[in-house]
Amino acid sequence: MRRTPAQKLRALREYRKPREFDTGITHNIEKLSKEISKRHVSSGGLDTAIAEHAPAVVASGVTVQRVTPGGVATLVVSDAAAGYELDIWLRTGGMEILRANCKVALRRVRVVRG
């Protein structure tokens, strides 16, 4: 069955009509909120434990990158000084504090510079 010129023109106008884009930021905020909550759940409360129990010097320069199911936490430090402070704190009882206040079982902490 052949199309008439009017049907062809209608189909062409439907195909070439301008798209309406969502210019609001609600989609981006929802996406960011889901990502933050997902990262918080996957860290097992390690980030809040560091923020609450670690010294201010350590807590300000450390972010949790990930925690593996095997219990290896990867922490990113801002600079070498923050890494040194974190290492000293972990060796002097910080690891036990983190183990007691986290939902996940921590075996080891891996420190990387970011």
**What is the H or E stretch that residue 9 is in?**
helix 5-16
Q: So what CATH class is 45-114?
A: alpha beta
**Residue 76's pLDDT is what?**
94
Report residue 17's pLDDT band, with 50, 70 and 90 as the boundaries. Answer: confident
Domain boundaries, the chain: 45-114
Report residue 82's pLDDT band, with 50, 70 and 90 as the boundaries. Answer: very high
Report residue 99's pLDDT band, with 50, 70 and 90 as the boundaries. Answer: very high
- What is the β-pairing status of strands 62-67 and 108-113? unpaired
Residue 80 · residue 87 · CB < 8 Å: no
What number of CA atoms fall less than 13 Å from residue 36's CA on the CB side? 7
Give per-residue pLDDT as tens, 22-55.
778 888 999 999 988 887 777 888 888 999 999 9
Which one, of 114, 112, 97, 113, lies nearest residue 46 by Cα?
Answer: 97
The model carries a pTM of 0.67
